[in-house]
Amino acid sequence: MRNILIIEDDTKIQDMLRIFLTGNGFHVTSAFSGTEGVLAHSKDIDLILLDLMLPGKSGSEIIEDLKKIRDVPVIVMSAVSDIGSKVDLFAKGADDYITKPFHNEELLARINARLKTHHAEAAKIENGNLEIITDEHIVKVCGTEVPLSRYEYDILLLLAQNRGKIVTKSRIFDKVWDMGDTADENTLNVHMSRIRKKLKDADPDNEYIETVRGVGYRIR
């Protein structure tokens, strides 16, 4: 079941959306301020409905924070219809915009369209000769499938999802070993060495993973 995070301080709108969306097969998580919305966002959230006029930090102020936690579609809900404001929101990372008041059926159509597009984009990650098919947990290099263990796959996927960005060691521990298992730096180093060797065996001419000494790793 897809999980939608609604960040909206109006309780009547929250209740209306919760009833409507649960009736259409979604699970709903509610937040009533910008700060609460950032804290509520997690790997379990598939889409965010974001009001702009929120207590504390406004909706426009938290879009980038939400995207850093997990890049899922963000649909802004607002009575503001100024084109300049909309352009600014899209520049910050908003994926869609619906003007209040709106018809529930239009909102549902936008939600389904964004989820479908995001799923198609997320199903495959490509970086040069490296291809990760996330739906099937398959990694290919130069068209040849590279067998990886569960932890090796999860580490490589995390790096690929953050291409060009440094992924700290602590974040890798948090994201990969999050099911009660434990790991230390030596364990991580062994896994990274195995990943590098398997990628190098498949594509000797390229080095995909860069070590940022004392910090973490980055995929080129």
Do both 103 and 182 map to the same domain?
no
* pLDDT tens digits, 200-211: 999 999 999 999
What pLDDT, on the 0 to 100 scale, is given for residue 207?
A: 92
Instruction: Please compute the mean of the pLDDT values over residues 143-153 and round it to a whole number.
Output: 92
Instruction: Please compute the mean of the pLDDT values over residues 29-58 and round it to a whole number.
Output: 94
Q: Which domain holds residue 103?
A: 3-122
- Predicted TM-score (pTM) of this structure: 0.60
Do both 81 and 128 map to the same domain?
no
What pLDDT, on the 0 to 100 scale, is given for residue 178?
A: 63
Among 95, 122, 149, the domain boundary falls at 122
Do both 103 and 147 map to the same domain?
no
Asked if 134 and 123 touch (Cβ cutoff 8 Å), the reply is: yes
Do both 118 and 213 map to the same domain?
no
* pLDDT tens digits, 163-187: 888 999 988 988 888 655 677 889 9
How many domains are contained in the chain?
Answer: 2
3-state secondary structure (DSSP) of residue 65: helix
What pLDDT, on the 0 to 100 scale, is given for residue 122?
A: 63
Q: Indicate if the pLDDT at residue 39 is higher than 90.
A: yes
* pLDDT tens digits, 56-69: 899 999 999 998 88
